[in-house]
Amino acid sequence: MEERTNRPERVASVDRLAFGLVVALGSNDAGRRKRAADRLWQLGPRAVRRAVGPLLALLDDDDREVSIAAGLSLFSAAPLPDEYVPALMRLLLNRRPEVRGWSASLLGDFATARVVVARTLETLAHHDPSAEVRWRATTALAALADRSERPS
């Protein structure tokens, strides 16, 4: 019973912490950006969903560790809201294979925009120069197919 009583307080606490961490994601200090992304992941999907936009931007961070921390945080909150499909589609064109790979994997969790996403992922799966991106795109295609076969 006590757990229910504390739930609203915990939600408010997570929301306050997430707000401060979103600010830290914009820091000039790569270590601070990474710690903020890591902490959002630790707080859970609710906190990560408050920071999806800034975390998507950090997928292309110059510091690889920041990029990885952002990707892991985003995966912890998947599937992401449909409004982020266009941003992820743009990231599929990124020069860095790991960014294209993260984007391909995250797109595999979307139920909407299936046709456009599937066609783009098929192109990546067959033609991207990076083996990792091809693998991630193939895995995302399988996830899309699996979701489309499940009853709603």
The ranges assigned to domains in the chain are 1-77, 82-152
pLDDT tens, position by position, 70-89: 999 998 887 788 788 888 88
pLDDT tens, position by position, 5-56: 456 676 678 788 889 999 999 999 999 999 999 999 999 998 999 999 999 9
Note the CATH number of domain 82-152: 1.25.10.10
CATH topology of domain 1-77: Leucine-rich Repeat Variant (1.25.10)
Residue 133 confidence (pLDDT): 92
Distance in angstroms (rounded) separating the CA atoms of residues 23 and 118: 34
Quick check: 50 and 22 in contact, CB under 8 A?
A: yes
Nearest to 99, CA basis, from 55, 143, 139, 142: 55
Residue with tokens 């294979």, as numbered in its chain: 97
Residue 7 confidence (pLDDT): 66
Residue 11 confidence (pLDDT): 67
H helical segments located in the chain: 2-25, 30-43, 45-49, 52-58, 64-76, 85-91, 97-107, 114-127, 131-149
**Tokens linked to 96:** 């860095």
Residue 15 confidence (pLDDT): 81
Mean pLDDT, the chain, integer: 85
Flag whether pLDDT at 1 surpasses 60: no
Enter the pTM of the model: 0.68
Model confidence at 113, pLDDT cuts 50, 70, 90, reads low
Distance in angstroms (rounded) separating the CA atoms of residues 131 and 101: 10
